[in-house]
Chain A
Amino acid sequence: MIAARFPDGRLHLQHGPIDLIIEAFGARDEVEAAYRQAVDRFGGILPTLVRELPTLRRPVRDAYPLLHGPVARRMVEAVWPHRGVFITPMAAVAGAVADEMLQAMLAGRTLDKAYVNDGGDIAIHLGPGHSLRAGIFAQALDGAVTLTHDSPVRGIATSGRGGRSFSLGIADSATVLACTAAAADAAATLIANAVDIDHIAIERRPACELDPDSDLGDLPVTVAVGDLPPEAIAVALERGMEEARRLRHFGLIDSAAISLRGEWRLVHERSLEIGVGCARRLHGGAQSRR
C-alpha cells in the first residue's frame, strides 16, 4: 500500500490494482482534513471489495445482486440499468471506488472542489460557483471539458483498448460524462464495446485465455486491430454513437466522446470540446486516461 504526497500537494494512494490521484481545493485546513479522511478510508477499500469478488464477477441478470460492501453496492447500482445486455458489476469498479473515496473525503468538510482520479475514472465534487477543466488525451486529438456546478455531471470515465481491462469492441477510447463516476464507468464500457465491426483485421480471443479471473469468461475480447478501411471505421463509430444516444435518451449519461483511429464522434457536444490543442491549453486539473 502506498500513501504519498506529490511535491505539488496532490495525494497518491495505491493498493494492489487501485491507483488514485486525489486533489482537493479550498481552505488549507479543510483540504488537509479531507486528505486525512481519504487516507483513513482507503485501507479498507480493497480488502472489503475482494471478499465479494466472486459475485461481482458474475453477469447481472434479473435478480438484483445483494451485496454488503459500499463499493460493491455502488457497482451494482451503476450496472443495474444495463442488465438487458451482458454486463458484470466489474464494469463499474474503478468509478465506484472513486465515488466512495470522494464521499469519504467530503464528509463533514467544506471544499471548493475536489476530484478522485482512479486511473482515468474520475469522481468530482464542485461547490457553488466552482468549475473544473478536465483534459482528454487520446491518440490523435485532444479534448477538454469544463464541468460547472450547475451541470449534473460529477463523473468522467474512459474505456477502450489500451486500458487495463479487456474490451469487446475496438474503440481506442470512449469517454463518458455522467452523474457519478460509477455510472460513467459502466456506460463507457458498454459504448466502447459497441464500437465494433466484423473485420478480418480484428483479432479476438476468449477473455479467460488471457486472464483466468476475467469477469468476461469465454467472451471474445479484442487483442489486436490491424488496418481498417475508412468505411469500416465509420460504421464502427456509428454503432458506438447509437449506443451512446440510447443511453443519453434514457438519462443514463450526459455526453460521450468516441475515438477510433483518429476519428472522433461526439454525443451531446455542448459539454465537450474536441480539437487539436484544446487540452494543451489546460493548466492543472484532472486528466482522463486515454
Chain B
Amino acid sequence: MSDELALSESERSAGIVRCDACPVLCRIRPGRAGACDRYANEDGKLVRVDPLVLLAKPDLARVAFVEGSESWAGELGKGEGAFITGIGATTTYPDYKPAPFIVSSKPDGVHMVTVVTEGIFSYCGVKVKIDTDRYLGPEQAAVRVKGEAVGHVTTAEYGSQMLSLGGVHHLTGGSKKEGVVTCDALLALCNKEPVELVIDGGSTVVVQAGRPPVVNGVREERMRVGCGSAAIGMFAPQWKDHVDEVIVVDDHITGVLSEHQGGRFLDMKPAGIRVRGRKSTPGRYFQVAQPGLGWGGTDVRDPLEIIEKIDPKQAWPGLKLLMVSTTGEHSAWFELDKDLKPQPAAMPAPVRKVVERIAENCEPALCTVLFMAGAGGSLRAGVTENPVRLTRSVRDTLTRVTLGGVPAYVWPGGGITLMVDVAKMPEKSFGYVPTPALVAPIEFTLRALDYAALGGYASRAVTLESVLRDNKVRLE
C-alpha cells in the first residue's frame, strides 16, 4: 500500500478503514458504508455487503437446501462443511492486492486454505461439443455471431461436431465490434443461455449448454448409435432372419451387411448391391455422399441414390433390402422386382423393431460448453507474492483449482490453463468487463502449510465462520 493510501495515526485510532475496492478509495468510519454501499466498516474491518455464493459440503458437491431440514437449521452460520465460491467475490485488475477471501477451513481436520477470487480472463474461450452427425460446416470455417467471427469449426469427435470459440485473438485482436460480440457470445454460453451461431459455408446452429442443438431450425434429438459399420456389428444377428441385405447410411462409414464381417459370420449370401463411395474394408464404405442434413449426416434424401449398381449375377427378384440411418431416424424397406429394381414395400414388424432399437440406443444429443482459460499473469498475484510457485503447486496437485466450486481440469505444461464444464457451475457465475474479457469465479484450495510455503498471504486468512458472519451469502 503506498503512502498516499496510508491512514493517519488519528484516523487509525478512530477505527477508520480505507477501502481499496475501487479508485474512489473511501475512508470509512466504523459502522458506516463506503460511497458505493457495497463495502462497509464493521468494527474496524472492511466487509463486503454483496452476497457470496456458498456451496455446501467440502467435497464440492452441491447439496440442495431443504427448508426446515434438521441437518441444516443453524448449521450454515457455523460454516461446517461449506465451501465459498468466487462468485460475487470481485477483484481488481491488475490484481494489485490480495484476493478478496483467503479462507481457512478444516474439512476432515486438515487445515486448508481456500483463496477465493473472481478472475478477469483476457485469455479465455469455450470449446463446444455438439452431439450431431449433421454437417455443420467445413473444418476451420469461421463461426459467426451477428456477422462477426467469434471462432471456428475444429476437429470433429465421435458423434459430435466441435467448435472452438473466443480466445484472445477474437476478443482483443480484431475490431472493437468483433471483441464485443465475441465477449457477449461467450458470456451467454457460459451462463447457459442460447446463442445462434452461423458457420461459413455451413449451417446455422443454436447452442445452449446442456440442451440439444438446433441445426437450421431443426432440433437434434439423438446422437448416432455408431458408424454404419458399428451399427451392423451391433444389430446383424437381430436382422439375419428377416432380411437379405441391410445398408446403414452414414456420413463417415456406410455399412453393407452381406459384405461385412458381421454378415459373413452369419453366413449371409452376397446380395450384389454395390454402393457408391470408396471401399475401406469389406462392407465398409467412405464418402457414399456429400456431408449434409439428410440420411446419417449425408446430403442423401432418397437412399436409392447411393446404390451404384445391382449385380444381376448375384441379386435375385424378391430380395429384401433394409436401408437405415445410424440414428434410426431414416429408414426404408425395399423388395427387388423381376427387373431387379428396388420397389418400396411395407416394412415387416420384426425389422421395424430393430430400427426402433437403433434409435433407442442413441444417446440424447446435447451441447456441452467447456470454459477454457489461462489463470496466468496478475491473477496469481492475488494469491501469492511469488506467482510461479502457485503454478508449480497446481501442477504438483497440491493445490486444487475450482471454478464456482466445480473442479477444473488443469492442462499439463506451463501456466495454469484450465477447463471446466459450465453446466455444473451455479447460475450466473460469469460476468464481463469492457476490456473485453470474461470474469469468472476461481478458487485455489490447498493445505495451510503449503500455502505459507508458496509465499501466500497467510496472515490475511480468515475463518470460514467469519466470512459467513461478515458477508451476505447465497446458498446454492
Query: Which chain A residues have a beta carbon within 8 Å of chain B's beta carbons?
Result: 1-4, 15-17, 19, 36, 39-40, 42-43, 46-47, 50, 53, 164, 209-213
Contacts and interface: CB of A to CB of B under 8 A. Distances in A.
Contacts of B432: 3-4
B431 A4 contact: yes
Interface string B159-178: 00000000000000000110
A16 B180 contact: no
B357 interface: no
Given A3-B434, A42-B434, A164-B37, A212 B22 contact: no
Given A16-B21, A50-B24, A212 B434 contact: no
Contact of B431 (A2, A40, A210): A2
A16 B24 contact: yes
Contact of A47 (B23, B28, B32, B34): B23
Given A36-B180, A40-B176, A210 B22 contact: no
A19 B433 CA distance: 15
- Tell which of A16, A40, A42, A47 has the most Cβ of chain B within 10 Å: A16
Nearest to A29: B146
B1 to A, nearest CB: 17
A200 B34 CA distance: 29
B34 A17 contact: yes
Contacts of B24: 16-17, 46, 50, 53
A39 B180 CA distance: 10
A209 B177 CA distance: 48
Given A1-B434, A39-B434, A43-B434, A213 B36 contact: no
Contact of B32 (A39, A43, A46, A210): A210
Nearest to B25: A50
A213 B22 contact: no
Contacts of A43: 433-434
A205 to B, nearest CB: 11
Interface string B16-37: 1000011111111100101111
- Tell which of A1, A4, A40 has the most Cβ of chain B within 10 Å: A1
Interface in B189-211: none
B75 interface: no
B476 interface: no
B11 interface: yes
Contacts of B27: 211-213
Given A3-B434, A43-B434, A212 B25 contact: no
- Tell which of A2, A53, A212 has the most Cβ of chain B within 10 Å: A212
Nearest to B193: A7
Given A36-B180, A46-B23, A211 B434 contact: no
- Tell which of B21, B22, B37 has the most Cβ of chain A within 10 Å: B22
Contacts of B21: 16
A16 B35 CA distance: 8
A189 B38 CA distance: 23
7 contacts: A3-B434, A16-B24, A36-B177, A36-B180, A47-B23, A209-B29, A212-B29
B217 to A, nearest CB: 21
A16 B431 contact: no
B35 to A, nearest CB: 4
Contacts of A53: 24
B23 A16 contact: yes
Given A3-B432, A39-B434, A211 B29 contact: yes
Nearest to B435: A43
A4 B436 CA distance: 12
Contact of B35 (A1, A3, A17): A17
B35 A164 contact: yes
A209 B16 CA distance: 11
Nearest to A38: B434
Contacts of A16: 21-24, 35-36
Nearest to A44: B434
A67 to B, nearest CB: 17
A212 B35 contact: no
- Tell which of A17, A19, A47 has the most Cβ of chain B within 10 Å: A17
- Tell which of A2, A39, A210, A213 has the most Cβ of chain B within 10 Å: A213
A47 B22 CA distance: 9
Contacts of A17: 22, 24, 34-37
A3 B433 contact: yes
A27 to B, nearest CB: 14
Nearest to B188: A5
A86 B324 CA distance: 86
Nearest to A42: B434
B278 to A, nearest CB: 48
Contacts of B22: 15-17, 46
Contacts of B180: 36, 39
B16 A212 contact: yes
Contacts of B34: 17
Nearest to A39: B434
Contacts of A15: 22
B432 to A, nearest CB: 6
- Nearest 8 Cβ contacts at the A-B interface: A16-B22, A17-B35, A17-B36, A212-B27, A50-B23, A43-B434, A39-B434, A16-B24
Contacts of A19: 36
A17 B40 CA distance: 13
Interface string B53-80: 0000000000000000000000000000
A80 B404 CA distance: 49
Contacts of B11: 212
Contacts of A213: 26-27, 35
A213 B16 CA distance: 11
B29 A210 contact: yes
Contacts of A50: 23-25
A201 B29 CA distance: 25
Nearest to B23: A50
A233 to B, nearest CB: 28
Given A39-B180, A211-B28, 15 more contacts: A1-B433, A2-B431, A3-B431, A3-B433, A4-B432, A16-B24, A17-B36, A43-B433, A46-B22, A46-B24, A50-B24, A164-B35, A164-B37, A211-B29, A212-B16
A185 to B, nearest CB: 15
Nearest to A212: B27
Nearest to B37: A164
Contacts of B434: 1, 3, 39-40, 42-43
A26 B355 CA distance: 53
A19 B32 CA distance: 19
A185 B180 CA distance: 33
